[in-house]
Amino acid sequence: MGAPVTSPTPADGQDAIVNVTGPRSSGQAFRNRVLPPVLVFIGFICVWYVSAALLGESTRKTALAYPHEVISEFFGGAGGAQPGQLLSATWLTFVVALAGLLIAMVLGTIFAVLMSQAPWVETSFYPYAVLLQTVPILALVPLIGLLFGFGMGARILVCVIISLFPIITNTLFGLKSAEKAQHELFTLHRAGRMTRLIKLQFPAALPAMFTGFQISAGLSVIGAIVGGFFFGRGPRDLGNRILLYSNRLRPAEMIAAVILSALLGVLFFQFFGWAKNRLTRSWYEAGR
């Protein structure tokens, strides 16, 4: 008989696994998560340069500036926007979008809870929530300006209107998503309606609720930009700045304002994604 085959000790095996798979897994994570968006960004910048070059000098100066011109004008190039102007406009847009989003979160959650607890409330009010979503916000902005003026309150109202529907629908879906067996368990223990809502339905609804918050976060920033753009007066937010730079044929500053608007929307979206992960990752399997 041959000599018995020996296997490596657990410690040796574990060391081998750590040494081999550690660097490989980190490199794979870089290739899968970091490298693709970086390559897409580089490709986007290249397409931007080529598109601006093809427009011609005269058209480019009034329609599409080069990326380096946008950066130069943002930091105070000759005749360009001062950083303070765009940053103060970004802060004002942030305040409007955040205020509108918070109001929409409170109202949307309240309406969703009422709909989940009383079917007649859902039957009576849900069609109007759908109607609120289907009416073009651009058609409502002039009416809102005439009724409520062109200040902060009117812009916050635009953000609330555009952000409300996703919160209602996702929260309502989440509140109804608790499993039937769990409801039966609460019924077996004679749990009241509030106990069932707080201890069963709300925890089950958290993933869907935060998905609605993420969607509405981006929409709230859009509402703030749209309100400032179409009101055309009042506080100088990013929407107002985009309109001003467009009318004055200053594409570099206008693109800088658009980029800041996009970054603000990404900030809102990522914050609620982070909050969702923090609150649900320990038990929500799909979020891991």
pLDDT 10s digits, 177-235: 877 777 677 777 777 778 877 887 888 888 889 999 999 999 999 988 988 888 767 67
Residue 1 inside a domain? The answer is no
Q: Give the model's pLDDT for residue 85.
A: 80
Same domain, 90 and 129: yes
pLDDT band at 80 (very low <50, low <70, confident <90, very high): low
Among the listed residues 111, 140, 92, the one whose alpha carbon sits nearest the alpha carbon of residue 241: 92
The contacts of residue 236 (CB under 8 Å, 6+ apart) are: 85, 88, 89, 92, 244
Same domain, 46 and 160: no
Same domain, 158 and 267: yes
Q: What is the mean pLDDT of the chain?
A: 80
Q: Give the model's pLDDT for residue 175.
A: 86
pLDDT band at 282 (very low <50, low <70, confident <90, very high): low
Distance of alpha carbon 26 from alpha carbon 65, whole angstroms:
38
When pLDDT is averaged across residues 81-101 and rounded to a whole number, the result is 86
Q: Give the model's pLDDT for residue 88.
A: 86
Residue 68 inside a domain? The answer is no
pTM: 0.78
Please determine, for residue 6, whether its predicted confidence score (pLDDT) is greater than 60.
no
Q: Give the model's pLDDT for residue 15.
A: 47
Same domain, 131 and 229: yes
Residue 69 inside a domain? The answer is no
Same domain, 155 and 40: no
When pLDDT is averaged across residues 119-141 and rounded to a whole number, the result is 85
Q: Which amino acid is at 238?
A: L
Q: How many domains does the chain have?
A: 2
**Structure tokens that stand for 196 in this block:** 């069932």
Residue 167 inside a domain? The answer is yes
Distance of alpha carbon 149 from alpha carbon 154, whole angstroms:
6
Same domain, 213 and 260: yes
Residue 66 inside a domain? The answer is no
Longest dimension (CA), the chain: 98
Same domain, 190 and 232: yes
Same domain, 30 and 155: no
Q: What CATH number is associated with residue 151? A: 1.10.3720.10
**Structure tokens that stand for 97 in this block:** 């979008």
Among the listed residues 102, 94, 76, 165, the one whose alpha carbon sits nearest the alpha carbon of residue 129: 165
Residue 151 inside a domain? The answer is yes
Please determine, for residue 171, whether its predicted confidence score (pLDDT) is greater than 70.
yes
Residue 7 inside a domain? The answer is no
**Interaxial angle between packed helices 238-247 and 202-231, expressed in degrees from 0 to 180 and rounded to the nearest 10:** 30
Distance of alpha carbon 223 from alpha carbon 268, whole angstroms:
13
Q: In the chain, what percentage of residues exceed pLDDT 70?
A: 83
pLDDT 10s digits, 24-66: 566 777 677 778 888 888 998 898 888 888 877 777 777 788 8
- Secondary structure, 3-state, the chain: CCCCCCCCCHHHHHHHHHHHHHHHHHHHHHHHHHHHHHHHHHHHHHHHHHHHHHHCHHHHHHHCCCHHHHHHHHCCCCCCCCHHHHHHHHHHHHHHHHHHHHHHHHHHHHHHHHHHHCHHHHHHHHHHHHHHHHCCHHHHHHHHHHHHCCCHHHHHHHHHHHHHHHHHHHHHHHHCCCCHHHHHHHHHCCCCHHHHHHHHHHHHHHHHHHHHHHHHHHHHHHHHHHHHHHHCCCCCCHHHHHHHHHHCCCHHHHHHHHHHHHHHHHHHHHHHHHHHHHHHCCCCHHHC
Same domain, 122 and 191: yes
Distance of alpha carbon 154 from alpha carbon 143, whole angstroms:
10
Same domain, 195 and 257: yes
The contacts of residue 34 (CB under 8 Å, 6+ apart) are: none
How many CB atoms sit inside 10 A of residue 42's CB?
Answer: 10
Same domain, 91 and 42: no
When pLDDT is averaged across residues 6-30 and rounded to a whole number, the result is 54
Q: Is 106 left (phi over 0), alpha (psi -120 to 50) or beta?
A: alpha
Residue 3 inside a domain? The answer is no
Q: In the chain, what percentage of residues exceed pLDDT 90?
A: 18
When pLDDT is averaged across residues 77-95 and rounded to a whole number, the result is 76
Domain containing 25: what range?
12-55
Q: Give the model's pLDDT for residue 253.
A: 83
Same domain, 17 and 156: no
Distance of alpha carbon 13 from alpha carbon 4, whole angstroms:
19
